[in-house]
Structure 1
């Protein structure tokens, strides 16, 4: 049947193509996505205040789903598709953290996040869980403040008893992390402004992605308060975490379009378990060649940047000076991370060449 698809009517071919696309999207959706809140009223409420629990996987995933749904109407410049929203990268990233065991309690003091305990639990002792708080709870509080969740909606983030180093309301987060909240506010305000702008879609798209990544970067930089939690992990996992954060500087500067398809391509090859001291990234027997390739390249990029005193990242950022160079940068990042035949020396030479155009 499939082999003769070209002989069918145009309508039949269209239906088949839509089916294939839908099947791909279903595969890419974060685990347990269908169990998340599809509307704001599905979240827990107390005294007419939304009280989601960002330390519960399904609640946290729901925050992303609601943000995507609320901002989709303003994403016309990203192409007419419900999978083009750049926020998609965050729930896919959270799903990888969950399935790889990185949201579980790394201290062993509880069964939070373990298969033998509450699998939906996100440990406050997890470095990855702490980082995720900055990219889920905070943007959601900003989105609510900017009326994307409805007029006058108030939000209070639940926090486990005895934990005091996380902000729980918009005003609280503004007081503790003003730069983070300011940049998320600017992103959400920018969405509304872009919807009314007569500028070409290509310009609006690049501008919105710039605002999005500025907010995302502010969140990851502020998450340095989570670093004490890295002591719970092996040195190999800590090195991976640092190289992963280093990689974010490159994708941010290139205004990476973190839609479902692009995000899945970059997230799928990430290591499917926490690294141990005995692991040798790049040649780990129980990991796929794609996982080993990703670990090898990320380690190389971090090592070179450190050897150069941080100038590799600075050079990269300086080359991402226009829509054209950012487009080339996104393509090059894909080649570097996903194409084993792409030489690292080529990456360095292209950066040097691209700088001359800025």
Structure 2
């Protein structure tokens, strides 16, 4: 069990931030941040309803941008310039997916997402894009429902993808009907966020609970998309989903600097059949290490019947343990 704890320890360490000073926080923003809509009036309007095409990268990113802008006032007590806003993790992850080609059509039956075709297109055939939809549409529409964005629930509608429309929801009412528990988790987060007595650690608890809820059954729901990827990429996607459970239990702060720095450990391109970590020549030592750790974590999880995650969750219930773990990770992965 000591061996298991070591690898769990290494996993979170690989994704823990390097708290290096950044003179310009705007340099850390995801791709096309400035070009993405930052207010509802930037979207198409029909009959007083804002229509958002979540299958176009800048428009999906625009949903995150509005979330970050409208919630900034609640995070000002934790630090300046909205850097401590823990919703940065969602949009930075979306930006990483775009930058690494993971939002493109993996079947290559269309030119969606490719420079030679429509580079801003988000493919409904992409496993990453479909799973991310539940981490963009649901938190955004739940924020609309909570009133935190200043528009009524019947004023916002997301446009459907070109196929498989029944797999998704598109407005507050349909998402509440189809995914009530997931929407409720996000609503609880926004309710607590607006509480004058909110504290940072509990905000992380609510955020990660909503994040995990959004992923429950979602990855399996799009299992048919996995066949379009080579085995290393398919395994990385599944392993990454498993790893999120450990990160959530540890309440990793998903702030701007922390997430930006931690993403240096993620593969900068879609993996192919010849990629075998830790021997991928065009990946960094850290990226190879992360992939190797994820492989081992998945193997341990399978061998123990997920007992490893249960043990990790129990250990992370104590705030002092979480702080000790993060302090140790920052020491080993930042200062050395």
**Cα 1:156–1:226 shift into 2, 3 Å:** same
SS at match of 2:135: helix
Q: Which residue of 1 aligns with 2:135?
A: 135
Residue in structure 1 matched with residue 14 of structure 2 by the alignment: none
User: What TM-score do the two structures reach when normalised by structure 2?
Assistant: 0.88
Contact 1:56 1:120 (8 Å CA) reproduced: yes
Are residues 1:219 and 2:202 paired? Answer: no
**2:69 partner SS:** helix
1:56-111 residue CA offsets vs partner (Å, 9 max, x unmatched) = 11001111111011111112453344111111011111111111111000111100
Larger Rg: 1
User: Cα–Cα, structure 1 residues 105 and 324, in superposed 2: closer, same or farther, change >3 Å?
Assistant: same
1:108 matches 2:108: yes
Residue matched to 1:48: 48
2:319 & 2:146 partners in 1: Cα distance? 28
Q: Deviations over 1:192-239 (max 9, x none)?
A: 12xx22xxx7xx111111001100111112422122211111111111
Deviations 1:274-329 (A, max 9, x none): 11121102110121222112111222222222222211111100011122122223
1:322 maps to 318
Q: Could you tell me how far apart the structure 1 residues matched to 2:22 and 2:311 are?
A: 38
Alignment TM-score, normalising by the size of structure 1: 0.83
Partner residue, 2:145: 145
Give 1:181-330 correspondences, 5 Å limit. Answer: 181-193=183-195, 196-197=196-197, 204-224=199-219, 225-330=221-326
1:35 partner SS: coil
| 1:161 Cα deviation after fit | 3.3
3-state secondary structure, aligned to 1:86: coil
Task: State the alpha-carbon separation in 1 of the partners of residues 223 and 323 from structure 2.
Answer: 33
- Residues 249, 316 of structure 2: 8 Å contact kept: yes
State the alpha-carbon separation in 1 of the partners of residues 294 and 331 from structure 2.
13
Q: 1:182 to 1:222 in 2, by over 3 A?
A: farther
| Structure 2: unaligned runs, 5 residues or longer | 1-20
Q: Number of aligned pairs?
A: 312
Q: What RMSD over aligned residues (CA atoms) do the two structures have, in Å? A: 1.9
Q: Show structure 1 runs of 5+ residues with no match.
A: 1-19, 342-358
| Cα gap change, 1:26 to 1:305, in 2 (>3 Å) | same
Say if 1:239 and 1:334 are closer, same or farther in 2 by CA, change over 3 A.
farther
Q: After the TM superposition, which residues 311-350 of structure 1 pair with which residues of structure 2 at under 5 Å, given as runs? A: 311-331=307-327, 338=333
Distance 1:101 1:249, change over 3 A: same
